[in-house]
Structure 1
Amino acid sequence: MKADFELVTDRLILRPYKNVDLLDLVEAIQQSDDTLSRWLPWCSAHYNQHDAHEWIHASQQNWLYDICYEFAIFHRDDDEFLGSISISNLSEITNSGELGYWIKSSAQQQGFATEACREAARFAFSKVKLTRIEIVTHLGNLASQRTALACNAKFECTARNRVIEDGHPINGLLFSLIPTDIPQNPAPRGNES
């Protein structure tokens, strides 16, 4: 899939990662250690430019081979880097994928994750042609659970051994989206360039 395009919402621009995003990514992760590291173990104050370079390169390869679709999230007004969202764990057998997201600490609780999730889900359903998206959260991650519900995802179950924490499987909460859960926009919002 062509990785050189944008998804545009009322407040956000979502686009594949570029090398120029490296410093913004490092800064956002380092400043968000206190709110994200419990759920995302790689998110730490020790995350550095080498880590970001490797991740951005892997993300670009994922797009090139249609393995996974990671988007950097920016504010439309000032191009501030806000976080990341991805469609991963793609399965041809079930025609499904998993939606994951994080927003840096200073931009949390402003509805950015919900807005980005809705647009990423539209992309997954209309462009990737998935018929199911799963959102899996830690039992204690109330912010992520609220985001899933705000996106109109349906809670399905407590899935046993669904999340890995400190190298051990633990239970997670499973939410799902199908195409009818996310209204399609009357006019295309993707800005393909």
Structure 2
Amino acid sequence: MRQPPRHTVRRLLATDAPSFYAAVRESIDELTYWMPWCTKDYAMSDAEAWMQTASEMWASGAEYHLGIFDAATGAVVGGTGVNHINRAYRIGNIGYWVSSNRTGQGIARFAAHQSAVLGFGELGLTRLEIVVLTNNTASQRVAEAVGARFECEARNRLYFQGAPHSACVYSLVPEDLR
């Protein structure tokens, strides 16, 4: 018998701000290292502003940010989505993060897959990239687990903590999800 899903991925709503804030605060040490949007003084007002920004970006078609939720409790356990969209070339980027107390459970892999389904399905993109710093082995494993193909190590591909850094570039095309 098939088990019900343990997690869901959906658009972020204004009412998700408190749970999003809690997930960020629980993971603040890790997130401030990897995510430029996260600072040690991340506040509830930042989470509320992000819910508004994410909604506006979705409405404009600029970016598609999603929350990752515990199916049983409805609590936010991370984020994912499709961003850096180039409509002329029908490409985009997938990003993801998972709360520190939920890592190693396959949640990021599930979420990245759901973002790819959105990108290839609803958005009609034909290529999705996952760009990962060379020292972020956990995110590299997620990219590989979702079926993304390693293409190259690109020099100065990401700007990280005030300096350019090389990054691993992975790609997904629709056939990779079949």
Equivalent position of 2:13 in the other structure = 18
d(CA) in 1 for partners of 2:107 and 2:144?
14
- Alignment partner of 1:68 out of 54, 63, 70: 63
Give the TM-score taking structure 1 as reference length: 0.86
Deviates more, 1:34-43 or 1:66-75: 34-43
> 1:168-183 residue pairs with structure 2 within 5 A?
168-183=163-178
Q: Do residues 117 (structure 1) and 119 (structure 2) align? A: no
Structure of higher RCO (CA pairs closer than 8 Å, 6+ residues apart): 1
Deviant stretches of 4+, over 3 Å: none
Q: How many residues align?
A: 175
Looking at structure 2, the residues matched to 112 and 168 of structure 1 have their Cα atoms a distance apart, in angstroms, of 30
TM value normalised by structure 2: 0.93
1:30 maps to: 25
- Following TM superposition, by how much is the alpha carbon of 1:175 offset from its aligned partner in structure 2, in angstroms? 0.5
Residue from 159, 167, 170 that aligns with 1:164: 159
* Post-superposition offset of 1:167: 2.4
**Aligned position for 1:6:** none
Q: How many angstroms apart in 2 are the aligned matches of 1:29 and 1:132? A: 29
Alignment match, 2:126: 131
Tell me if the contact between 2:132 and 2:140 (Cα under 8 Å) persists in the aligned partners. yes
Instruction: Judging by fraction of residues, say which structure has more helix.
Output: 2
- Higher deviation after alignment, 26-35 or 146-155: 26-35
Describe the SS at the equivalent of 1:37: helix
**What is the match of residue 187 of structure 1?**
none
The alpha carbon displacement at 1:157 in A equals 0.4
Task: Give yes or no for contact 1:157–1:175 (8 Å, CA) kept in 2.
Answer: yes
Gapped runs of 5+ residues in structure 1? 1-8, 184-193
Note the C-alpha offset of 1:44.
3.4
SS at match of 1:124: helix
Q: Which runs of 5+ in 2 are unaligned?
A: none
Looking at structure 1, the residues matched to 9 and 137 of structure 2 have their Cα atoms a distance apart, in angstroms, of 24
Paired residue for 1:151? 146
